[in-house]
Amino acid sequence: MIRDDRGRRVAFVSHCLLNQNVRYMGGAFFAGAVPSVLETFAAQNVGFVQMPCPEQLAWGGVTKRLLLRAYGSRALYVMRAVFLPLFVVYTRVRYWWLARRVARDIRDYVTAGYEVVGIVGVDDSPSCGVRRTLDVKRALPVIASLDDAVDRETFNARAVRDCLVPGRGFFISALRRALARCSLEVPMLEYHVDSGSID
pLDDT-derived band at 146 (thresholds 50, 70, 90) equals: confident
Q: What is the pTM of this model?
A: 0.91
- Cβ burial of 65 (10 Å; 0-12, 13-18, 19+) is exposed
pLDDT of 87 > 60? The answer is yes
Residue type, position 156, single letter: N
Query: Taking a C-beta distance cutoff of 8 angstroms, is the pair 14, 128 a contact?
Result: yes
pLDDT 10s digits, 66-81: 766 655 556 555 556 6
pLDDT tens-place string over residues 147-193: 777 899 999 999 999 999 999 999 999 999 999 999 999 999 999 99
Percent above pLDDT 70 for the chain: 92
